[in-house]
Structure 1
Amino acid sequence: MAYVYFTDEQKQRANAVDLVDFLQRQGEQLVRSGREYRWKRYDSVTVRGNEWFRHSRKEGGRAIDFVQQFYDMSFPDAVSFLLGGESGVEWNQTEKSAPPPRKEFSLPEENPDMRRVFAYLIKQRFIDRDVLSHFAHKKLIYEDKQYHNAVFVGLDENAVARHAHKRGTFTQGEPYKGNVEGSDPCYSFHWIGESDTLYVFEAPVDMLSFITLNKQDWKQHSYVTLDGVSEHALLRQLELHPHLKNPVLCLDHDAAGIEATGRLKDILCEKNYYDPAYMDISVLRSEFKDWNEDLKALHGIDPIPAQEHPKLVLLPQMCSAVLEVCRMQSVNQEANARLLNECEQLAPLLRSDSLQRNVLEEQCRQTVACALISIQNTCRQMEIPVSMERVTGWLQAEYKPHEDRGWLRSKAEDIRIAVRDVSSRIRTPGIRTADEQKLFMRSCLTLALSCMKAQMFIVLEAQEQAPRQEKTVNFTMTM
């Protein structure tokens, strides 16, 4: 595959393509949702200007990775397509359809009473009355006059309202939820106590449910909601209150919540709020899908079950399988030479215009095994003998689902880069220094991880397609 060069200006122009215009001109149906548009084909995807967000997976980006994600294109193909390519189509740029200016933040008008909010949160959500009354007395929860939504107010360090989240109180259908326009994400709904513990939640109802379940001395601790899974409110409270030394992540017990937990851990590490070499961020997970589902279960309501992350379920199985492959590998050939041979066999599969799933999966498995054997062999050369179980454990510990995004083509690109790096290090003549050996092992681990991600994608893709194929067969048989 020939290398395609794009200037920074070309990449910026491709990334600035208006996705509303892009989708509409391809016949896609979009539905207006506030300042955004919801894509009917993928109803969890919203677009606005050149930006997109997939709410079911809590991921998003701009035009180039949108085309890579949903049109299964490589980076060069995506940029070429957005620049017009051979078709000569000129897509509108975001500057041509800029959204109206952002409104100033203003709290909705308050209703004289809170009857609907109290009825909804106590009778439907089972929030403790005393807990709810405490926040209502502090004017942090109230009922808006026009729509009777529950309004959860976020104050800044000067006790000035800077954020408000609205939650519908109607019990029929999916309740309305959204932020008041102009809300500052750094100041979402929260409570600060005197202890060193800060509990972190996705939404206000989650926070209130957790407090209800853990009511004793609850005011001594601190709590913050993330306005979804954004880190801004968490970081702002840690910055404003240095006594908060123990963040506890209490996000939803589903794939999106698990990914967000991993991402927030990485952010806290980058901001020097903890050192993973000496401690770990505390994580609490609800028994069911979220803390309110746990609360419902206590009141005899059938809860929505928790959802484990499918990739984290599959990961130990794949590591066990690759461990068996490692044990069966011949020891007659030098480890690095064997790894180089596997890389050479893998390279043409990555250049293929149509990636052959089964062939690529098997070759990735063999490459992972050889990469791990090379790591073990290098450790022995450094007089640090390790078992293959331990090396496989390193691979498993290195995997983070929130970093495993994109389609198979993007994963193939990651493997291609890793293959080039490992091959170059193996072919470099001379005796490696201790630092060079460590870098070589890191390159091998990166290659193994990239191949494992591609394998995982292929396996899960097949599992997702199997039920659809079975339904098609059953439907055909009944015709």
Structure 2
Amino acid sequence: MAYVHFTDEEKQRANSVDLVDFLKRQGEQLIRSGPEWRWKRHDSVTIRGSEWFRHSRKEGGRAIDFVQGFYNLSFPEAVQWLLGGEAGVEWNQTSKSSPAPKREFALPGVNSDMRRVFAYLIKQRFIDRDVITHFAHEKLIYEDKEYHNAVFVGLDENGTARHAHKRGTYTQGEAYKGNVEGSDPRYSFHWIGRSSKLYVFEAPVDMLSFITLHRPGWKEHSYVTLDGVSEHAMLQQLRQNSHLKDVILCLDHDEAGIEANGRLKDMLAEDGYTNTAVRQSIYKDWNEDLKAKHGMEPIPAEEHPKLILLPQVCAVLPDLCSALGTHRDIRTFLIDCFQRLESLVNSRKTAPENTDTVKECLECMAAGSLFLAKELCRQMGRPVTAEQLVQKLQSSYRPHVDRGWLRTRMEDIRRDLTDIDRITHKPGIRGVEDQRYLGSSYLRLALDCVRTRMFIELGPQVMLPKQDQTRNLTMTM
């Protein structure tokens, strides 16, 4: 778009737009989490006034870069929208809807008995009575006096309550769940045993269900809940308990859980925990497995849509790779494909045949880069087949790092092509390290093309004109 000048005052005003107000007007759901708000669609993103932070990627900022990143808009487009643009919308500023001051943590009052909690956990959730009794005896589960919620308590290293998760025990409608305000996320509901194993869950009911399903010797092992997929409680227990070496991730069998498995494994590897395993429930979570065992209809598991699509996209690459063997100059072919791809993407035509052509360009580029990797391996005396390279590409794919809009994906592809061009035109004879780097660059280009191809397949908004994207006010990551 043409250059647009903004005054410092306008940029400051745009950057001060309250993101809670902004997202709610898009129909997004946000959940209060202490002094912040958590975006329900992507629960690793927290909002506080005009500031945001994505915990899964350790990045954040203010309103302008939020709109740029999540809505795939340029800086001028983002500022115009936040200033009201043609629609004339006046967004709330941060001062108008800032969160209430954070309260000190305090456990809810204790009821005189636990009849409702026992009835709910045993009859509705099928948790073993002895397991519940154990945690109740340790004062880690109790029934609150006012609302009769089940309260799951998290203690710190000194045995002081620092966290409490409440779960409604009423059976009609959707049960209430939430943390007591002021809870420290590092000290959620957990149990520490003497073995080296730490089992990690999203919620207390998942943890108790798993223990019920695997009762023999369960007290010897350690268990921790994350209140979702945040890593804080897991890392805290690993720091406190040096005997814990083996981490078993037991998160929900759905898209969010699968992505969290990959993210947490990467995080643990960086901290030196290399003995990490993933254990998935048959159905959506461990309580659904327990329900199925008692004859109830369980909620089915959900596979990650990108992992379903990945082998389908990759299936065409070996034949395309073979067909490119007759082409004289594959590198020039890749540049030509990218230039055509840029033209198609920038035009943003909505005709179906345009989208199909974009997909074909990306497939040809992926196949071309695999062909060059195959030729390089042959020249290095380590021949491989196209099928082997495709298998390596698939095994290297990680859905939790496959982020970004079309603009950033195109920038990734451009960067890959630049790296390849730099190393191939480097003066002198390429050494072994240069050849290995070139081979990695070919595979990275192929993977980035495949990722972009899947993004277009799964994201119906990506080929819309920018003005239509803005008017639709929809976000699909």
Task: Settle same-fold status: TM greater than 0.5.
Answer: yes
Alpha-carbon distance in 1 for matches of 2:13, 2:445: 32
1:442 CA drift (Å) = 2.5
Alpha-carbon distance in 2 for matches of 1:10, 1:427: 46
Contact 1:20 1:37 in 2 (8 A): yes
Q: What's 2:127 paired with?
A: 127
Q: Give the SS at the match of 2:152.
A: strand
1:70 CA drift (Å) = 5.8
Contact 2:20 2:30 in 1 (8 A): no
Amino acid at match of 2:324: Q
1:337 CA drift (Å) = 3.9
Deviations 1:416-454 (A, max 9, x none): 333343344445454323222222222222222221112
Deviations 1:389-423 (A, max 9, x none): 22112211221111123443443333333334334
Deviations 1:257-299 (A, max 9, x none): 101101101111122211xxxxx62111001010000000011
Q: What's 2:316 paired with?
A: 321
Alpha-carbon distance in 2 for matches of 1:192, 1:388: 48
Q: What's 1:189 paired with?
A: 189
Alpha-carbon distance in 1 for matches of 2:11, 2:192: 44
1:357 CA drift (Å) = 2.2
Matched, 1:440 2:438: yes
Q: What's 1:468 paired with?
A: none
Alpha-carbon distance in 2 for matches of 1:334, 1:73: 36
Q: What's 1:169 paired with?
A: 169
Q: What's 1:345 paired with?
A: 340
Amino acid at match of 1:361: K
Alpha-carbon distance in 2 for matches of 1:29, 1:181: 25
Q: What's 1:404 paired with?
A: 402
Q: What's 2:240 paired with?
A: 240
- Structure 1 unaligned spans of 5+: 275-279, 466-479
RMSD: 3.8
1:336 CA drift (Å) = 3.3
Alpha-carbon distance in 1 for matches of 2:127, 2:409: 45
Q: What's 2:143 paired with?
A: 143
Alpha-carbon distance in 2 for matches of 1:244, 1:79: 49
Task: Report the CA distance shift for 1:77/1:372 in structure 2 as closer, same or farther (over 3 A).
Answer: farther
Alpha-carbon distance in 1 for matches of 2:416, 2:6: 22
Task: Report the CA distance shift for 1:268/1:9 in structure 2 as closer, same or farther (over 3 A).
Answer: farther
Structure 2 residue aligned with 1:456, among 454, 457, 467? Answer: 454
Task: Report the CA distance shift for 1:10/1:452 in structure 2 as closer, same or farther (over 3 A).
Answer: farther
Task: Report the CA distance shift for 1:462/1:91 in structure 2 as closer, same or farther (over 3 A).
Answer: closer
Task: Report the CA distance shift for 1:452/1:13 in structure 2 as closer, same or farther (over 3 A).
Answer: farther
Amino acid at match of 1:213: L
1:179 CA drift (Å) = 0.4
Amino acid at match of 2:331: N
Alpha-carbon distance in 1 for matches of 2:8, 2:384: 46
Task: Report the CA distance shift for 1:324/1:105 in structure 2 as closer, same or farther (over 3 A).
Answer: same
Q: Give the SS at the match of 1:438.
A: helix
Stretch deviating more after TM superposition (240-249 or 127-136): 240-249
Task: Report the CA distance shift for 1:443/1:30 in structure 2 as closer, same or farther (over 3 A).
Answer: closer
Alpha-carbon distance in 2 for matches of 1:83, 1:202: 39
Q: What's 2:277 paired with?
A: 282
Task: Report the CA distance shift for 1:324/1:2 in structure 2 as closer, same or farther (over 3 A).
Answer: farther
1:325 CA drift (Å) = 1.1
Alpha-carbon distance in 2 for matches of 1:120, 1:190: 20
Contact 2:456 2:462 in 1 (8 A): no
Q: Give the SS at the match of 2:317.
A: helix
Q: What's 1:78 paired with?
A: 78
Amino acid at match of 1:299: H
TM-score by length of 1: 0.84
Amino acid at match of 2:434: E
Alpha-carbon distance in 1 for matches of 2:5, 2:454: 31
Deviations 1:110-130 (A, max 9, x none): 111101000000000000000
Q: What's 2:359 paired with?
A: 361
Q: What's 2:368 paired with?
A: 370
Q: What's 2:220 paired with?
A: 220
Stretch deviating more after TM superposition (256-265 or 350-359): 350-359
1:92 CA drift (Å) = 5.1
Q: What's 2:302 paired with?
A: 307
Alpha-carbon distance in 2 for matches of 1:432, 1:64: 44
Task: Report the CA distance shift for 1:58/1:143 in structure 2 as closer, same or farther (over 3 A).
Answer: farther
Amino acid at match of 1:67: V
Alpha-carbon distance in 1 for matches of 2:180, 2:406: 39
Q: Give the SS at the match of 1:163.
A: strand
Paired residues for 1:3-22 under 5 Å: 16-22=16-22
Q: Give the SS at the match of 1:318.
A: helix
Alpha-carbon distance in 2 for matches of 1:194, 1:348: 61
Q: Give the SS at the match of 1:330.
A: helix
Deviations 1:435-475 (A, max 9, x none): 2222222222222222111211222346999xxxxxxxxxx
Q: Give the SS at the match of 2:315.
A: helix
Deviations 1:69-116 (A, max 9, x none): 664424664356446779998855535643222111111111111010
Deviations 1:296-354 (A, max 9, x none): 00111000011111110111121121122112223452443433443343343344355
Q: Give the SS at the match of 1:253.
A: coil
Amino acid at match of 1:143: E
Contact 1:74 1:409 in 2 (8 A): no
1:50 CA drift (Å) = 3.0
Structure 2 residue aligned with 1:382, among 380, 383, 392? Answer: 380
Contact 1:51 1:60 in 2 (8 A): no
Alpha-carbon distance in 1 for matches of 2:94, 2:312: 45
Alpha-carbon distance in 2 for matches of 1:123, 1:135: 17
Alpha-carbon distance in 2 for matches of 1:14, 1:219: 54
Task: Report the CA distance shift for 1:329/1:10 in structure 2 as closer, same or farther (over 3 A).
Answer: farther
Alpha-carbon distance in 2 for matches of 1:58, 1:180: 26
TM-score by length of 2: 0.84
Task: Report the CA distance shift for 1:300/1:141 in structure 2 as closer, same or farther (over 3 A).
Answer: same
Contact 2:246 2:273 in 1 (8 A): no
Task: Report the CA distance shift for 1:305/1:28 in structure 2 as closer, same or farther (over 3 A).
Answer: closer
Deviations 1:132-169 (A, max 9, x none): 00000000000111111100000111111111100010
Residue correspondences, number = 456
Alpha-carbon distance in 2 for matches of 1:446, 1:319: 14
1:376 CA drift (Å) = 1.7
Q: What's 1:294 paired with?
A: 289
Amino acid at match of 2:280: R
Q: Give the SS at the match of 2:223.
A: strand
